[in-house]
Structure 1
């Protein structure tokens, strides 16, 4: 699952994955995996994204904050 909002934000700032990684102090590979949804960032990394893009982490990483997989919701469905 691609995180389209992250890709959009990075492109709006005219940054490559490598440039963003340098600005956030993380690896380029980590940026790539986060954008592709292969890995979930930790809280510290989400805060870095939030501050850099001046956007709420719930907007940047909606897949991590949805209740879609909540057991009660599944059970009620």
Structure 2
């Protein structure tokens, strides 16, 4: 669940349908975005960022999470 995305909608006392209508997308899509079942395209991400006044990295932290794999495959040299 993308908590910040849901919180911003609740702060404005809006339903998923209302947000969908304002942004010109489907209610199902908003539901999937909030649950983390779908990722937004850049255009939709920008619409949400402007609408809520919150950076995309805060609305969708899971998309921007950096995860470094520290294990090497046996026999391969690290790239450092």
Q: With structure 1 as the length reference, what TM-score do the two structures score?
A: 0.88
Matching residue of 1:74? 69
Q: CA RMSD in A?
A: 1.3
Q: Distance in 2 between matches of 1:34 and 1:25?
A: 14
Which of structure 1's runs of 4+ aligned residues deviate more than 4 A? none
- Tell me which structure has the larger Cα radius of gyration: 2
Q: Distance in 1 between matches of 2:35 and 2:58?
A: 16
Partners of 2:43 and 2:3 in 1: CA distance: 21
More helix as a share of residues: 1
Structure 1 unaligned segments of length 5 or more: list them: none
Distance 2:5 2:66 in 1: 20
Q: How many residues align?
A: 72
